[in-house]
Protein backbone atom coordinates (compact mmCIF):
# COMPACT_ATOMS: atom_id res chain seq x y z
CA UNK A 1 0.00 0.00 0.00
CA UNK A 2 2.80 2.44 0.88
CA UNK A 3 5.19 1.24 -1.88
CA UNK A 4 6.17 4.78 -2.89
CA UNK A 5 7.74 5.38 0.55
CA UNK A 6 10.75 3.27 -0.50
CA UNK A 7 13.81 5.55 -0.64
CA UNK A 8 11.82 8.59 0.55
CA UNK A 9 13.80 10.95 2.77
CA UNK A 10 11.70 11.37 5.92
CA UNK A 11 12.57 13.45 8.98
CA UNK A 12 10.49 12.84 12.12
CA UNK A 13 11.04 15.27 15.00
CA UNK A 14 10.59 13.95 18.53
CA UNK A 15 10.96 10.35 17.45
CA UNK A 16 12.96 8.68 20.22
CA UNK A 17 9.77 7.39 21.86
CA UNK A 18 5.99 7.20 21.51
CA UNK A 19 4.16 7.95 18.29
CA UNK A 20 7.23 9.36 16.53
CA UNK A 21 9.18 6.16 17.08
CA UNK A 22 6.25 3.97 15.96
CA UNK A 23 5.98 6.04 12.78
CA UNK A 24 9.75 5.74 12.25
CA UNK A 25 9.48 1.94 12.50
CA UNK A 26 6.72 1.87 9.87
CA UNK A 27 8.66 4.10 7.47
CA UNK A 28 11.79 1.96 7.96
CA UNK A 29 9.79 -1.20 7.19
CA UNK A 30 8.85 0.42 3.89
CA UNK A 31 12.46 1.24 3.01
CA UNK A 32 12.51 4.97 3.80
CA UNK A 33 15.55 7.03 4.81
CA UNK A 34 14.50 7.98 8.30
CA UNK A 35 15.88 10.78 10.44
CA UNK A 36 15.25 10.31 14.15
CA UNK A 37 15.42 13.32 16.44
CA UNK A 38 15.40 13.92 20.17
CA UNK A 39 16.54 16.56 22.61
CA UNK A 40 19.43 14.46 23.89
CA UNK A 41 21.61 11.59 22.71
CA UNK A 42 20.62 8.57 24.84
CA UNK A 43 21.35 4.84 24.66
CA UNK A 44 17.70 4.40 23.63
CA UNK A 45 18.01 6.78 20.68
CA UNK A 46 21.11 4.98 19.42
CA UNK A 47 19.40 1.60 19.88
CA UNK A 48 16.46 2.91 17.85
CA UNK A 49 18.79 3.66 14.91
CA UNK A 50 20.06 0.05 14.98
CA UNK A 51 16.50 -1.25 15.16
CA UNK A 52 15.35 0.82 12.16
CA UNK A 53 18.35 -0.23 10.07
CA UNK A 54 17.48 -3.88 10.77
CA UNK A 55 13.87 -3.25 9.71
CA UNK A 56 15.02 -2.36 6.19
CA UNK A 57 15.28 1.40 6.37
CA UNK A 58 18.32 3.61 6.44
CA UNK A 59 18.31 5.55 9.69
CA UNK A 60 20.34 8.21 11.44
CA UNK A 61 19.87 10.14 14.68
CA UNK A 62 20.08 13.94 14.87
CA UNK A 63 20.21 15.55 18.30
CA UNK A 64 18.48 18.94 18.51
CA UNK A 65 16.44 20.75 21.14
CA UNK A 66 13.70 22.16 18.95
CA UNK A 67 12.52 24.75 21.47
CA UNK A 68 15.44 26.80 20.06
CA UNK A 69 15.26 28.24 16.53
CA UNK A 70 18.98 27.84 15.82
CA UNK A 71 18.73 24.12 16.66
CA UNK A 72 15.78 23.77 14.27
CA UNK A 73 17.97 25.18 11.50
CA UNK A 74 20.87 22.93 12.52
CA UNK A 75 18.59 19.87 12.42
CA UNK A 76 17.51 20.53 8.83
CA UNK A 77 21.11 21.23 7.78
CA UNK A 78 22.32 18.00 9.40
CA UNK A 79 19.52 15.84 7.94
CA UNK A 80 19.83 17.20 4.39
CA UNK A 81 23.64 17.00 4.44
CA UNK A 82 23.39 13.36 5.49
CA UNK A 83 20.59 12.21 3.15
CA UNK A 84 21.01 14.72 0.30
CA UNK A 85 17.58 16.32 0.58
CA UNK A 86 14.16 15.98 2.21
CA UNK A 87 10.83 14.66 0.86
CA UNK A 88 8.70 14.37 4.00
CA UNK A 89 8.81 16.36 7.24
CA UNK A 90 6.89 15.17 10.29
CA UNK A 91 6.66 17.76 13.07
CA UNK A 92 5.94 15.46 15.98
CA UNK A 93 8.08 16.87 18.82
CA UNK A 94 5.84 18.34 21.47
CA UNK A 95 4.29 17.86 24.83
CA UNK A 96 2.09 19.21 27.59
CA UNK A 97 4.90 21.32 29.05
CA UNK A 98 3.19 21.71 32.43
CA UNK A 99 -0.33 21.85 33.83
CA UNK A 100 -1.51 25.25 35.16
CA UNK A 101 -4.84 27.03 35.38
CA UNK A 102 -5.18 30.49 33.88
CA UNK A 103 -4.49 32.35 37.12
CA UNK A 104 -1.19 30.50 37.56
CA UNK A 105 0.11 30.86 34.01
CA UNK A 106 3.26 32.96 33.87
CA UNK A 107 5.63 34.03 31.10
CA UNK A 108 7.86 31.01 31.69
CA UNK A 109 5.03 28.51 31.07
CA UNK A 110 3.74 30.47 28.08
CA UNK A 111 7.20 30.57 26.50
CA UNK A 112 7.97 26.92 27.23
CA UNK A 113 4.71 25.52 25.82
CA UNK A 114 4.74 27.75 22.76
CA UNK A 115 8.42 27.07 22.08
CA UNK A 116 7.88 23.31 22.39
CA UNK A 117 4.75 23.00 20.26
CA UNK A 118 4.59 26.10 18.04
CA UNK A 119 8.06 27.55 17.54
CA UNK A 120 9.55 24.08 16.97
CA UNK A 121 7.17 23.18 14.12
CA UNK A 122 7.28 26.69 12.63
CA UNK A 123 11.07 26.93 12.53
CA UNK A 124 11.73 23.36 11.39
CA UNK A 125 9.19 23.83 8.58
CA UNK A 126 10.69 27.21 7.63
CA UNK A 127 14.14 25.71 7.13
CA UNK A 128 12.72 22.59 5.44
CA UNK A 129 10.74 24.47 2.76
CA UNK A 130 13.57 24.97 0.21
CA UNK A 131 14.40 21.26 0.37
CA UNK A 132 10.76 20.19 0.06
CA UNK A 133 10.29 22.54 -2.87
CA UNK A 134 13.33 21.00 -4.53
CA UNK A 135 12.01 17.48 -3.84
CA UNK A 136 8.68 18.23 -5.55
CA UNK A 137 10.40 19.89 -8.50
CA UNK A 138 12.81 17.01 -9.08
CA UNK A 139 10.44 14.11 -8.43
CA UNK A 140 7.25 15.41 -10.01
CA UNK A 141 5.46 14.18 -6.86
CA UNK A 142 4.23 16.26 -3.95
CA UNK A 143 6.40 16.75 -0.89
CA UNK A 144 4.63 16.49 2.44
CA UNK A 145 4.60 18.22 5.81
CA UNK A 146 2.67 16.44 8.53
CA UNK A 147 2.32 17.85 12.03
CA UNK A 148 1.02 16.12 15.13
CA UNK A 149 -1.87 18.19 16.39
CA UNK A 150 -4.25 17.11 19.12
CA UNK A 151 -7.90 16.66 20.00
CA UNK A 152 -7.08 19.30 22.65
CA UNK A 153 -6.49 21.77 19.85
CA UNK A 154 -10.08 21.21 18.74
CA UNK A 155 -11.95 21.06 22.06
CA UNK A 156 -9.86 23.27 24.38
CA UNK A 157 -8.03 20.63 26.48
CA UNK A 158 -8.48 19.56 30.09
CA UNK A 159 -8.33 21.99 32.99
CA UNK A 160 -4.74 23.21 33.32
CA UNK A 161 -3.91 22.23 29.74
CA UNK A 162 -5.19 25.41 28.12
CA UNK A 163 -1.79 26.59 26.92
CA UNK A 164 -1.07 23.17 25.41
CA UNK A 165 -4.47 23.04 23.69
CA UNK A 166 -4.04 26.56 22.32
CA UNK A 167 -0.55 25.76 21.00
CA UNK A 168 -1.97 22.79 19.08
CA UNK A 169 -4.88 24.91 17.76
CA UNK A 170 -2.23 27.40 16.59
CA UNK A 171 -0.50 24.58 14.74
CA UNK A 172 -3.77 23.41 13.15
CA UNK A 173 -4.42 26.93 11.94
CA UNK A 174 -1.00 27.88 10.63
CA UNK A 175 -1.08 24.76 8.43
CA UNK A 176 -4.05 26.34 6.62
CA UNK A 177 -1.93 29.40 5.94
CA UNK A 178 0.94 27.31 4.63
CA UNK A 179 -1.43 25.54 2.21
CA UNK A 180 -2.19 28.94 0.68
CA UNK A 181 1.49 29.87 0.37
CA UNK A 182 3.12 26.63 -0.76
CA UNK A 183 0.64 24.51 -2.73
CA UNK A 184 2.06 26.07 -5.90
CA UNK A 185 5.42 24.56 -4.90
CA UNK A 186 4.01 21.03 -4.71
CA UNK A 187 4.08 20.83 -0.91
CA UNK A 188 1.11 19.39 1.02
CA UNK A 189 0.33 20.09 4.70
CA UNK A 190 -1.78 17.80 6.86
CA UNK A 191 -2.36 17.25 10.56
CA UNK A 192 -2.58 13.94 12.43
CA UNK A 193 -4.71 14.72 15.47
CA UNK A 194 -4.51 12.00 18.13
CA UNK A 195 -7.02 11.59 20.93
CA UNK A 196 -5.67 9.75 23.97
CA UNK A 197 -2.75 7.52 23.04
CA UNK A 198 -0.85 5.30 25.47
CA UNK A 199 2.55 7.02 25.71
CA UNK A 200 4.75 8.74 28.31
CA UNK A 201 2.55 11.80 27.72
CA UNK A 202 0.14 10.33 30.32
CA UNK A 203 2.77 9.29 32.89
CA UNK A 204 1.61 12.01 35.32
CA UNK A 205 -1.86 10.42 35.61
CA UNK A 206 -2.94 7.84 38.22
CA UNK A 207 -4.29 4.46 37.12
CA UNK A 208 -7.73 5.52 38.40
CA UNK A 209 -7.69 8.66 36.28
CA UNK A 210 -6.53 6.71 33.23
CA UNK A 211 -9.41 4.27 33.78
CA UNK A 212 -11.92 7.13 33.93
CA UNK A 213 -10.52 8.65 30.76
CA UNK A 214 -10.65 5.29 28.98
CA UNK A 215 -14.30 4.88 30.02
CA UNK A 216 -15.13 8.26 28.48
CA UNK A 217 -13.85 7.17 25.07
CA UNK A 218 -16.44 5.40 22.89
CA UNK A 219 -13.94 2.60 22.18
CA UNK A 220 -13.33 2.27 25.93
CA UNK A 221 -9.54 2.40 25.80
CA UNK A 222 -6.49 4.50 24.95
CA UNK A 223 -5.14 4.17 21.42
CA UNK A 224 -1.79 2.51 20.73
CA UNK A 225 1.15 4.11 18.98
CA UNK A 226 0.90 1.48 16.23
CA UNK A 227 -2.67 2.60 15.53
CA UNK A 228 -1.49 6.15 14.84
CA UNK A 229 1.60 5.38 12.73
CA UNK A 230 -0.22 4.48 9.46
CA UNK A 231 -1.87 7.90 9.32
CA UNK A 232 1.57 9.50 9.00
CA UNK A 233 2.46 7.05 6.22
CA UNK A 234 -0.83 7.83 4.45
CA UNK A 235 -0.12 11.57 4.36
CA UNK A 236 3.52 10.97 3.39
CA UNK A 237 2.61 8.81 0.40
CA UNK A 238 1.90 10.75 -2.78
CA UNK A 239 0.13 7.69 -4.17
CA UNK A 240 -2.24 7.55 -1.17
CA UNK A 241 -2.91 11.24 -0.54
CA UNK A 242 -1.50 13.30 -3.44
CA UNK A 243 -4.75 15.32 -3.71
CA UNK A 244 -5.19 15.82 0.05
CA UNK A 245 -3.89 18.94 1.75
CA UNK A 246 -4.99 21.22 4.57
CA UNK A 247 -6.77 18.41 6.41
CA UNK A 248 -6.92 17.20 9.99
CA UNK A 249 -7.24 13.45 10.49
CA UNK A 250 -8.56 12.49 13.93
CA UNK A 251 -7.30 9.25 15.46
CA UNK A 252 -9.27 9.11 18.69
CA UNK A 253 -11.45 6.03 19.17
CA UNK A 254 -14.64 7.97 18.54
CA UNK A 255 -14.12 10.97 20.81
CA UNK A 256 -15.98 13.96 19.45
CA UNK A 257 -13.64 16.37 17.70
CA UNK A 258 -15.39 19.66 16.91
**Starting from the edge strand earliest in sequence, which strands make up the sheet with 88-91, in order?**
58-63, 33-38, 9-12, 88-91, 143-148, 187-194, 247-251
Task: Indicate which single residue of 200, 204, 208, 215 sits in contact with ligand NAD (rule: CB under 6 A).
Answer: 200
Task: Indicate which single residue of 57, 162, 186, 194 sits in contact with ligand NAD (rule: CB under 6 A).
Answer: 194
- When asked if residue 245 is in the footprint of ligand NAD (CB under 6 A), the reply is no
CB of 19 to ligand NAD, least distance (A): 4
- When asked if residue 20 is in the footprint of ligand NAD (CB under 6 A), the reply is yes
Residues within window 211-240 making contact with ligand NAD, judged by CB under 6 A: none
Residues within window 90-129 making contact with ligand NAD, judged by CB under 6 A: 92-95, 116
Residues within window 143-182 making contact with ligand NAD, judged by CB under 6 A: 148, 150
Q: How far is CA 142 from the centre of its chain?
A: 18
Across the chain, how many H-helices and E-strands are there? 10, 7
Task: Indicate which single residue of 29, 39, 77, 130 sits in contact with ligand NAD (rule: CB under 6 A).
Answer: 39
Cα dist. 234→124, 171, 216, 239 in Å? 21, 20, 28, 9
Report the first-to-last Cα separation within the chain, whole angstroms.
30
Q: 22 Cβ partners below 8 Å, 6+ apart?
A: 225, 226, 228, 229
Contacts to ligand NAD by CB under 6 A = 13-20, 37-39, 65-67, 92-95, 116, 148, 150, 194, 196-197, 199-201
Amino acid sequence: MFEDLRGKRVLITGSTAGMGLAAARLFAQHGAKVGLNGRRVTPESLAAVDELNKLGGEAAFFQADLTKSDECERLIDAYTSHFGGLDVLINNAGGLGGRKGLESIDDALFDHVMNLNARSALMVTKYAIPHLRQSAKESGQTASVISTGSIAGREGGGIGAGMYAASKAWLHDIHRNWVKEFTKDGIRFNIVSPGTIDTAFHDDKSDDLKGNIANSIPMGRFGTIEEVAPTFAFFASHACSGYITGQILDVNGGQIAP
